[in-house]
């Protein structure tokens, strides 16, 4: 299933955070959610990376919390829910990100921004 949230690139992160809050409030476990960005990394990703690459990537394997990553650098993983944040990138990057996000989402893909 694909849910689309229209947003300009400069507010796509905000819309993605709203979508995430809604999903968590509805009962989704944080470890079920992967947030991928096509432009600037999510601020939470930047925060987590400040503790070092090893700890950052360990969180992906642990799957206990929402994981934030740049779509071009994320290791192969699936999650029930993928939120794709279209906050930049060329049309080619966005197309590739959309295709990748569709494969990684096993139940729901939420696209925040203009894609495909």
Strand 79-85 versus strand 33-37 pairing type = parallel
CA gap 82, 2 in Å, rounded: 10
pLDDT beyond 90 at 83 = yes
Q: Which single residue is written with the structure tokens 């690459």?
A: 53
**Maximum separation of any 2 CA atoms in the chain, in Å:** 35
Instruction: Tell me phi and psi for residue 5, to 5 degrees.
Output: -125, 105
CA gap 14, 61 in Å, rounded: 26
**pTM of the predicted model as reported, rounded to 2 decimal places:** 0.94
CATH of the domain at 82: 3.40.50.300
CA gap 110, 82 in Å, rounded: 6
Query: Could you report the per-residue pLDDT of 19-50, keeping only the tens digit for each?
Result: 999 999 999 999 999 999 999 999 999 999 99
Domain that holds residue 12: 2-112
Q: Provide the domain count of the chain.
A: 1
């Amino acid at each position: 299933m694909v849910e689309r949230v229209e947003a300009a690139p400069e507010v796509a992160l905000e819309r993605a955070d709203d979508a995430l809050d809604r999903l968590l409030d509805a009962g989704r476990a944080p470890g079920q959610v992967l947030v991928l960005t096509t432009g600037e990394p999510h601020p939470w990703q930047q925060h987590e990376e400040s503790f070092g690459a090893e700890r950052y990537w360990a969180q992906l394997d642990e799957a206990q919390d929402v994981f934030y990553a740049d779509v071009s650098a994320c290791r192969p993983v699936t999650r029930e829910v993928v939120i794709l944040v279209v906050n930049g990138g060329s049309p080619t990057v966005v197309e590739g990100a959309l295709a990748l996000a569709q494969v990684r989402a096993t139940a729901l893909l939420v696209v925040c921004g203009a894609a495909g």
